[in-house]
Amino acid sequence: MSSRDLDTFVDVLERVKALDPVNTRKWFDELSLVDFSGGQVEIGCPDDLTARFLEENCKNTFMQAAGQITGHLVSVKFSVKQGASRKQANTGSEQTGSGPLLRLHPDYTFDNFVIGPSNRLAHASCVAVSQSPGTAYNPLFLYGTVGLGKTHLLHAICNETMRRTAGARIHFISCEEFVNRFISAIEAGKLGDFQNQFRTVDMLVIDDVQFLREREQSQEEFFHTFNALYNNRKQLILSADSPPGEIPSLEERLISRFKWGLVARIDPPTYETRIAIVKKKANLRGLGISDEISEYIAQKVQANIRELEGALTTIYAVAKASGEQITLVLAKQALGDQVKLAERQINISAIIETVSKHYGVRLADLQSKKRSQSIALPRQVCMYLARSLTRHSLEEIGGHLGGRDHTTVMHACAKILELEQSDAKVKTSLVEISKQLSKQ
Ligand code: ADP
Ligand code: MG
């Protein structure tokens, strides 16, 4: 490889950081150039997790940056550096359904988790479980409202367990996915495979088990999975938005089992914890942030840590778009808009109309029973935005979108919230639609 290639690579990296500060991470400095030939750049990553993070979140940005620097169309490949630790679990090859069952996020580690009075017990119990799975607390049940770090902690347990015990068989799955896989297995006549897959792991982590409500057959299946693993002293870790006894229509025998181990609550973070989280998140992206600005953000956004992160992102996005330095004045302007958006009365018709224009689908289709993906996604975006920007109830939102029930709306909100994190296209669409709405 020539030194010119290496220089180009450094330029490409710098350009990526400028193009997408939100997805930039400090560890980008550990990336290396493996090969640069035939219109392709191959980039060496520290481990599987980082390679997948780049593949899923940054591939287009790398291509764009490489194109801008070289003036040619360049394709991008991410590979794991030779000799790097294989930070990946044994996910088994005999899985039913699609996709591996351990897709960990490199950001969600214990190191990146800020401990405060609101989450101290939850954090300590997660650390204990990752150090002695199956014996410390079994099951471990975390609960708290949305955006307080449950999923982060679950990933951290898996990340840490993998680090300690290479090859541990861990399944991490959202409850919704568990239910979907269960239904597919029944349809395909492969229930045996499904059971085998879930009952033979060392650690089973199920996120958002409130999704089991009213799903009787899945509860039954989950009950047997639970027993099989528990009796074999395998670790079970669960999260939910409320304590076991308050999840509606959850069978008594599951409620009692969920309480066998440790039930740990996560509360909204205190002011000091929020400041520390803002700093941690900025640091993770390799961005400097002054005390003044982190204090301002922590004051402004109180309830949900995801929104805290969103506020940080907004400030950086506004600074980048305007080419200005990040000052308190800029931060206030940037967040002022966001707050105005939430406070103003946006009506649901305006949301549906704006979404329909954005995606180029007809209003009537959004309100129809059609289930094709091209209609379903925009419809879910409508539900999500209606939920976050208006005061309508789930039922009312469902009513505006073709008479759907409240669970459908709840499901849509959860899905878009997740896609907002994992799918750059959806994230961009949400930003654009919100901008349109704020102008009206
Ligand atoms: P939940 O699953 O409870 O809805 P998440 O785990 O998805 O919440 O957390 C939302 C965001 O907030 C994530 O980006 C996560 O990293 C961050 N977060 C939550 N709590 C903390 C914390 N104590 N320290 C650092 N980041 C946190
Ligand atoms: Mg979660």
**CATH code (residue 362):** 1.10.1750.10
Question: Which is it for strands 40-45 and 75-80: parallel, antiparallel or unpaired?
Answer: parallel
Give the pLDDT confidence score for residue 89 in this predicted structure.
44
Q: Does the beta carbon of 218 sit less than 6 angstroms from any atom of ligand 1? A: no
pLDDT tens track for 160-178: 998 998 888 999 999 999 9
Give the pLDDT confidence score for residue 341 in this predicted structure.
44
d(CA 41, CA 113): 34
Give the pLDDT confidence score for residue 136 in this predicted structure.
86
Q: Does the beta carbon of 148 sit less than 6 angstroms from any atom of ligand 1? A: yes
Same-domain check for residues 97 and 231: yes
pLDDT tens track for 332-384: 888 875 554 445 567 888 999 999 999 999 999 998 888 888 999 999 999 98
Last residue of a domain, one of 84, 104, 127: 84
Q: Which residues surround ligand 2, an ion (CB under 5 A)?
A: 150-151
Last residue of a domain, one of 28, 57, 84: 84
pLDDT tens track for 130-152: 999 999 899 999 999 999 999 99
Q: What is the pTM of this model?
A: 0.72
Which residue has tokens 């994190």? Answer: 421
Give the pLDDT confidence score for residue 91 in this predicted structure.
44
**Residue 148 near residue 266 (C-beta atoms within 8 A):** yes
d(CA 437, CA 71): 36
Same-domain check for residues 362 and 324: no
Same-domain check for residues 189 and 310: no
- Region of poorest pLDDT, from 121-130, 319-328, 342-351: 342-351
Last residue of a domain, one of 50, 84, 118: 84
Q: In the predicted model, what is the mean pLDDT of residues 299-318?
A: 86
Give the Å distance between the CA of 207 and the centre of ligand 2.
7
Atom of ligand 1 nearest to the CA of 119: 23
Q: Does the beta carbon of 173 sit less than 6 angstroms from any atom of ligand 1? A: no
Atom of ligand 1 nearest to the CA of 113: 24
pLDDT tens track for 249-281: 899 999 999 999 999 999 999 999 999 999 999
Give the pLDDT confidence score for residue 20 in this predicted structure.
86
Same-domain check for residues 292 and 396: no
Give the pLDDT confidence score for residue 83 in this predicted structure.
66
Same-domain check for residues 122 and 259: yes
d(CA 213, CA 52): 33
Q: Does the beta carbon of 420 sit less than 6 angstroms from any atom of ligand 1? A: no
What residues contact 194, with CB distance under 8 A and at least 6 apart? 96, 97, 181, 182, 185
**Residue 420 near residue 426 (C-beta atoms within 8 A):** yes
CB atoms within 10 A of CB 434: 19
Same-domain check for residues 369 and 330: no
Same-domain check for residues 22 and 161: no
User: Distances from the Cα of 111 to the Cαs of 12, 87, 316, in angstroms?
Assistant: 29, 16, 24
What residues contact 79, with CB distance under 8 A and at least 6 apart? 34, 42, 43, 44, 45, 51
**Closest ligand to 122 CA?**
1
Same-domain check for residues 33 and 157: no
**CATH code (residue 64):** 3.30.300.180
Q: Confidence band (pLDDT; 50, 70, 90) for 425?
A: very high
Of 99 and 417, which is predicted with more confidence? Answer: 417
pLDDT, averaged across the chain: 88
Q: Which two tokens stand for residue 352?
A: 């549906």
Structural domain total, the chain: 4
Q: Which domain holds residue 410?
A: 348-439
Q: Does the beta carbon of 412 sit less than 6 angstroms from any atom of ligand 1? A: no
Same-domain check for residues 249 and 195: yes
Same-domain check for residues 427 and 297: no
Give the Å distance between the CA of 225 and the centre of ligand 2.
22
Q: Confidence band (pLDDT; 50, 70, 90) for 112?
A: very high
**Closest ligand to 152 CA?**
1
Atom of ligand 1 nearest to the CA of 144: 3
Give the Å distance between the CA of 153 and the centre of ligand 1.
8
